[in-house]
Amino acid sequence: MKPLKTLLLLLALSFPTLAESWELLEPEMPVVGRSGESVLFRLKGPQAHQPFLKLSGETVTHRLVEVSPGNYQTALSVPQDTKRSLFLVDAGTGLRRRLGTLQASSHCGQLRVTSEMVTRQGPHPDYDRLTPLYPGQHVALDGIRGGWYRLRASQTWVDGRKSPLSETDMAAFLPPNRLKRIRVEQAPNGDALLKLEMTRSPEIQAIQTGQALQFHLYDTLQTNFDIRRPSGVATFLGPILLRPCAQPQGVIVEINEGIKYGYQIIPELETGELTLRLRKPLPASLEGLKITVDAGHGGLEDRGTVGHLGLEEKVLNLRVAEALAEKLRQLGAEVTMTRLTDKAVLPESAGAGDELQSRIDHSIKRGSQLFLSVHHNARPSVEQGKIYHGTDIYWYQPHSQSLARHLADPIADAIGEESRSFRWRSFYVIRQTHSPAVLMEFQYLSNPVLEKSVLSQPDYPEKASSGVVEGLRNYLEAQASER
């Protein structure tokens, strides 16, 4: 056989398998970014090869370094000018594959938010969630990774596939927003309302540190310092500070005291006005307190954890939630439950996210001041789950930490459990609520010894809920004494 034919035959035989054996792990393509921005490329492929990346129109190549067997990476800068194709080349095998395009975001696109969107620290669902975007907001973009969009101001990411952009949107120029005035009002229920008069709803992030709550309004210019605060209104609010922020450009609205009870960001689609609702302080006792009790899971599709002896979490959660609601009502609290029967809150056809959101909406609609979600625990590993035990109370928003701390001990004591904790964790129902919220894992249902003994005793729901009541009382007293 002639050498050329041999080569062609070899290529034909080896090309398809080699092409399939390389996988681009990161980033999603196409990539749009600030020119000069460094982008990390990670690929998986055959071991001990010497592949490189190459941009069309460039002679420079970028060698991929094998950081562990079969895992390669290198960083590339976004070119300054036109859109370029990016190729993966493996000289050893003759492989050359187009991965996608790289382009500078010379002008920023914009996104008009049409439904609540979660922002994340990076362009992948694995990254932590940050303050959601609310319908009506306009945000400027400066980066794309596949279907993910980066917000120019906060440098956070949203999954654009959940709210697709058109090409025109990407080219649109977004003028900065102007904050004209802030009015302080009081809602009929006693919450404080900060009405921000502005040209449009901007991208906003809420950041809570200790006693202070900051709202960062990005891409916003402040035209004056006018805060209208009629006397006698919203007295629980401490001083409100307004200050410009340079990097990224915007305005920070900071509230310094009395913001421990939750907040809500409400944009007005028509007027561009933005309302920040700050929940009023809690009473010193349970009398008149509005509480949502959420029995976790429910229905045929979502049974939660199922014990080795067949006890279902959804059933046990509802038993405890019912006992808790009853006890709280006897003490004068206004209790509402997200579900009263073994049913999901929404029809079974709804997605898990919608189901959880509907539980939160339930709580918001009724003006609940506390959100308590009842659950029982398990471990991802079956073997571990059989021996684990303990009471874990989860919080997410800083204003929920104290509630979790006050609940952990009384609940564990009430059900005779030695191990107890209160810890931070990102669960949907405690992340999106607008009041102090906890997710209570009373005990491990995956542990058959506990399932047979403690959890199956007729007086267990009563005991467990008496622990919650004691914890709530301690929490309310502690809040009141700090004021």
Q: Of 107-115, 138-146, 280-288, 301-309, which part binds Zn ion (CB under 5 A)?
A: 301-309
| Number of chain residues interacting with Zn ion (CB under 5 A) | 3
Identify residues 374-393 at the interface with Zn ion (CB under 5 A): 375
- Beta-bridged to residue 393, according to DSSP, are 422, 440
Q: Which helix (H) or strand (E) holds 177?
A: strand 177-186
Asked whether 165 and 116 are in contact (CB, 8 A), the reply is: no
- Cα 108–109–110 angle (5° rounding)? 125
Separation of alpha carbons 87 and 100, rounded Å: 8
Closer residue to Zn ion in complex, CB, 267/385: 385
307 binds Zn ion (CB under 5 A): no
Which one among 79, 202, 304, 307 touches Zn ion, defined by CB under 5 A? 304
Scanning 39-47, 118-126, 227-235, 295-303 for contacts with Zn ion by CB under 5 A, the matching segment is 295-303
Q: How far is the CB of 443 from Zn ion (least distance, A)?
A: 12
Query: Smallest distance from the beta carbon of 233 to Zn ion, in angstroms?
Result: 42
Instruction: Say which residues have a Cβ less than 8 Å from residue 114's Cβ, sequence separation at least 6.
Output: 135, 163
Alpha-helical regions (H) of 141-297: 167-171
Binding residues among 51-70 for Zn ion as defined by CB under 5 A: none
Residue 298 near Zn ion by CB under 5 A: no
Distance of CA 181 to the CA centre of its chain: 30
Least distance (Å) between residue 297 CB and Zn ion:
6
Single residue of 202, 296, 385, 410 touching Zn ion by CB under 5 A: 296
Least spacing, CB of residue 454 vs Zn ion, in Å = 17
DSSP-derived secondary structure for 330-384? HTT-EEEES-SSSS-SS-TTS-HHHHHHHHHHHHHHTT-SEEEEEEEE--SSHHH
Nearer to Zn ion, 262 or 304 (CB): 304
What letter does residue 306 receive in the DSSP assignment?
B
Does 436 bind Zn ion (CB under 5 A)? Our answer is: no
Whose Cβ is closer to Zn ion: residue 296's or residue 471's?
296
**Least separation in angstroms between CB 444 and Zn ion:** 11
Terminal Cα distance for the chain, rounded:
92
Using CB under 5 A as the criterion, which residues of the chain lie in contact with Zn ion when the complex forms? Answer: 296, 304, 375
